Chains A and B, each alone.
Chain A
Amino acid sequence: QVQLVQSGAEVKKPGASVKVSCKASGYTFTSYDINWVRQATGQGLEWMGWMNPNSGNTGYAQKFQGRVTMTRNTSISTAYMELSSLRSEDTAVYYCARALRNFDYWGQGTLVTVSS
């Protein structure tokens, strides 16, 4: 069965960076894009960007341009999302999702807390 398993919760100081991983299993990793979506506590879903695991091509929401980097390691079927220059407003649950024009499988989410 398709599974996306994300890394554990992180606590970071303002200005630091965080890297969240998303390990895929149950399907061919390079056949579907991986997208990242975040959700602040009590707030809605916010799309951050996509990555094609086959080519490594990426596309980011304008809001995160220059601060986010999405990469992958195909040998271990794992995608990564790194967000830099963290501020308190980046405190949220970060989800990875498999995508082919819709997000059909999601990871369990990773809570990133930014606090001094």
Chain B
Amino acid sequence: QSALTQPASVSGSPGQSITISCTGTSSDVGSYNLVSWYQQHPGKAPKLMIYEGSKRPSGVSNRFSGSKSGNTASLTISGLQAEDEADYYCCSYAGSSTYYVFGTGTKVTVL
């Protein structure tokens, strides 16, 4: 099972919006509404930001939103802030034999 494809890096200025894509296949992203997104700061454990494609856990800012179209999921960060600078990973359920697959990861830089 190959990793989901994400851009290596995305950057934006404070206050801007950025979108990170996560491209899979019809066997994972395209088949299930079970894409989640994780934020990871250096030296820290990942943190759940979006689950089931577009739902936000309690405590996560509404500046983070998720969507999906076909085999591609997306994470949008609006009103970019310095604290959003981190690595972001998508993850999709891929069925009862492969189970889960992560994306390649995207480094977000706030200019």
Contact = CB atoms under 8 A, between A and B. Distances in A.
The residue among B46, B57, B98, B105 with the most chain A CB atoms within 10 A of its own CB is: B46
A103 B38 contact: yes
Nearest to B90: A45
A82 B50 CA distance: 30
A107 B57 CA distance: 18
B91 A101 contact: no
B52 A44 contact: no
Interface residues of B, number: 25
Contacts of A107: 45
Contact of B105 (A44, A61, A62, A102): A44
A21 interface: no
A106 interface: yes
Contact of B102 (A45, A62, A104, A108): A45
Contact of B48 (A44, A45, A102, A109): A102
Contacts of A49: 99
A95 B46 contact: yes
B99 A108 contact: no
A46 B99 CA distance: 12
Contacts of B51: 101-102, 104
A1 to B, nearest CB: 12
A112 B66 CA distance: 34
A80 to B, nearest CB: 18
22 contacts: A35-B100, A37-B46, A37-B102, A44-B103, A44-B104, A45-B105, A46-B102, A47-B99, A50-B99, A59-B99, A62-B1, A101-B51, A101-B52, A101-B93, A102-B34, A102-B52, A103-B46, A104-B48, A104-B57, A106-B45, A106-B47, A107-B45
Given A37-B46, A44-B102, A103-B36, 17 more contacts: A45-B38, A45-B91, A46-B102, A47-B91, A47-B100, A49-B99, A50-B99, A61-B1, A61-B99, A101-B51, A102-B34, A102-B36, A102-B51, A102-B91, A103-B46, A104-B57, A106-B45
